[in-house]
Amino acid sequence: MTRDEARQLLEAARPNGRDDADPRVAEALRMAAQDPELARLLERQRALDATMTAGMNSIPVPADLRQSILAGLKIVKPHFWEDWRTATAAAAAAVLLLAGGIHFINQTTSGFASFRRQLVTENWAGDPHLDLETADLSKIRAWLTTNGAAGDFALPTALAGARLHGARIFEYENHRISLVCLTEGARHLHLYVLDQAPFSDLPPVGAPDFEKCGAWKTASWRQGNTTYVLTGMSYPAFVSRFRKGGRWTLSG
Amino acid sequence: MTLDPQTFEDIVNRYYEPLYRFAFSLARSEADARDLTQETFHELAAKARQLREVSKAKSWLFTTLYRAFIDKRRRLNRYPEVESGAAEHELPALEPEAPAKMDAAAARAALVRLDEIYRAPLSLFYLEDHSYLEIAEILGIPIGTVMSRLSRGRALLRELLEVRGPKVTPLPVATPRSV
């Protein structure tokens, strides 16, 4: 083995001596023991690896991450039709549900659900998407109110650390909808606020309604006469941020 | 195969920390690292049957997380909103009073300054005993590329750490966009 080959092997060896048992690495190590230049190289390499390994393993992990992962997940069981005992019952139920299902679909493809889908997908496609650009929440509120949109909304406490970018107003059947744009880390979030929304199928009060609109995940909820739609986040992150002590903390 | 709740929890317990650290080294943001980690376990719960053996969980998790990071970065490039310094405040705080900890903090700070093509393999190299072959599989690149990126990445790290010594601080990140 040449000195150059030994150098390459020592440089490629994994941290903490995990490759030391490899015969070629072992030979390179023996050469390093006799060769001051290789010994210096090895010492530098090991110092770097020890520092980096310590650095990577000391990245602080959020204390509640494990609980958030476990709380937000359910393991998907095998599909029920894979169990023969339920298959027969499911087939019979499917026949009964078919007629009612058509009626249900007719009811749910209009109203808030379709409005939300249209609002979110069209808005995310827009560029640039803001009429007012400011990080000042009071200016955003004033601008929205002055222009006849919902400005007196409760910014969720879970978004208190997010960075505001501005706002926009949408028109829908003579109704004005506020959009507040935020970022958190590199996440780009949109919060839509509707006052007195003209729909009969509004989301529930006190708990979010999750719906995927195109490529975007949304969580919608209602407080009093105000309806909120948040998009741009992941569902696990939403659950971990907006659910505390077994309760939803959605607005304010 | 299916995962029973206890096996799933065992996998979470074993891997959530290294996965989060890998995610943080990629995304350079606590919020994004958290999202990536949670989404990865969400995928595992939803697609447990794709996992042929529990022993493959480690590779599956790291591969899934890396793909999620790449997908998000590609999608978010349509809406670039983060300024170069925006992620800076989310980097772990340095603790100057302890020399040993300072070395670790300097190492992290040096790593996040590197381009992602070096950052990803280096993170895996220093986490969880990943071999060259595992790194190649997770990142979807040839093993020779892994070796050359690791070699170059380690040289860059050495340069950053040895030139600046323990005074390295988390400067603005190298690229303006992250997940």
What are the sequence ranges of the domains in chain A? 3-57, 108-248
User: Which residue reads 């992990």 in tokens?
Assistant: A61
Share of chain A above pLDDT 90, in %: 7
CB-based contact (8 Å) between A240 and chain B?
Answer: yes
Cβ contacts of residue A136 below 8 Å, gap of 6+? Answer: A164
Which DSSP helix (H) or strand (E) runs through A192?
strand A187-195
**Total-model pTM:** 0.54
Closest of B152, B34, B46, B173 to residue B109, by C-alpha:
B173
The more confidently predicted of residues A207 and B100 is A207
pLDDT at residue B76, rounded to an integer: 62
Crossing angle of the two packed helices B57-76 and B30-46, in degrees rounded to 10: 120
3-class SS of residue A11: helix
A144-186 pLDDT per residue, tens: 998 888 888 888 888 888 889 889 888 877 778 899 988 887 6
Least Cα separation, residue A70 to chain B (angstroms): 7
pLDDT at residue B2, rounded to an integer: 63
CB neighbours (10 Å) of residue A241?
Answer: 19
pLDDT at residue B124, rounded to an integer: 94
Q: Do A11 and B126 touch (CB under 8 A)?
A: no
The C-alpha angle with vertex A120 and arms to A185 and A169, in degrees rounded to 5, equals 90
Contact A20, A10 (CB under 8 A): no
Mutation target vs A (from B10, B20, B38, B161; most A CBs, 10 A cutoff):
B38
pLDDT of residue A91 exceeding 70: no
3-class SS of residue A27: helix
Domains and CATH numbers, chain B: 5-76 (1.10.1740.10), 90-167 (1.10.10.10)
pLDDT of residue A206 exceeding 90: no
pLDDT at residue B118, rounded to an integer: 92
Locate all alpha helices (DSSP H) within chain B, ordered by sequence.
Answer: 5-27, 30-46, 57-76, 99-113, 116-126, 132-139, 143-164
pLDDT of residue A70 exceeding 70: yes
Q: Which two tokens stand for residue B6?
A: 């206890």
Q: Print pLDDT tens along chain B (179 aa).
A: 566 778 888 899 999 999 999 999 999 888 889 989 998 998 888 777 666 677 788 889 999 999 999 988 776 654 444 333 333 333 333 333 333 444 778 888 888 889 989 999 999 999 877 888 899 999 999 988 988 899 899 889 888 887 544 333 333 333 333 33
Q: Work out the mean pLDDT of chain A and round it to a whole number.
A: 78
Mutation target vs B (from A73, A80, A242; most B CBs, 10 A cutoff):
A73
Closest of B146, B166, B178 to residue B24, by C-alpha:
B178
Contacts of B57 in chain A (CB under 8 A): none
ipTM: 0.75
**Cα–Cα distances in angstroms (integers) from residue B19 to residues A103, A109, A234, B39, B164, in the given order:** 46, 40, 17, 11, 29
Contacts of A55 in chain B (CB under 8 A): 103-108, 110-111, 126
List, in sequence order, every residue forming a beta bridge with A219; answer none if it has no partner: A210, A230
Q: Do A215 and B75 touch (CB under 8 A)?
A: yes
The C-alpha angle with vertex A45 and arms to A40 and A51, in degrees rounded to 5, equals 125
Q: Do B20 and A77 touch (CB under 8 A)?
A: no
For chain B, first and last CA: distance in Å?
32
